[in-house]
């Protein structure tokens, strides 16, 4: 199919409507309901801190963004 000026309005309208759900959901994102702070006196490369980073990622994923750990 060749692309002509006649097809441009239809094609651009379809492309715009396809991108709309992504924009709407990005605007309605809520901040975390709970925010926690966590700190240790160990170096960042220590195994405790490495595992804490993994746990924080898992907590964020499982809570659906309701819990944030800084």
- What is the distance, to the nearest Å, from the Cα of residue 7 to the centroid of all Cα atoms in its chain? 35
- What is the distance, to the nearest Å, from the Cα of residue 16 to the centroid of all Cα atoms in its chain? 21
Query: Can you give the pLDDT at residue 35?
Result: 95
Residue numbers of the domain that contains 12:
8-69
**Is 1 domain-assigned?**
no
User: For 44, which DSSP code?
Assistant: T
Query: Can you give the pLDDT at residue 41?
Result: 95
Distance (Å, whole) CA 67 – CA 33: 6
Query: Can you give the pLDDT at residue 3?
Result: 64
**Tally of domains in the chain:** 1
Length of the chain: 70
**Is 2 domain-assigned?**
no
Query: Can you give the pLDDT at residue 32?
Result: 92
Q: Is the dihedral of CA 59, 60, 63, 69 positive or negative?
A: positive
pTM: 0.55
Q: What is the mean pLDDT of each run of 10 residues along the chain (70 residues)?
A: 66 62 63 93 94 94 91
């Amino acid at each position: 199919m060749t692309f002509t000026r006649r097809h441009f309005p239809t094609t651009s309208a379809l492309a715009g409507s396809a991108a709309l759900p992504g924009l709407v959901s990005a605007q309605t994102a809520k901040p975390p309901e709970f925010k926690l702070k966590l700190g240790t006196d160990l170096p960042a490369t220590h195994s405790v801190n490495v595992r804490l980073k993994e746990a924080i990622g898992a907590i964020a994923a499982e809570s659906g963004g309701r819990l944030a750990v800084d």
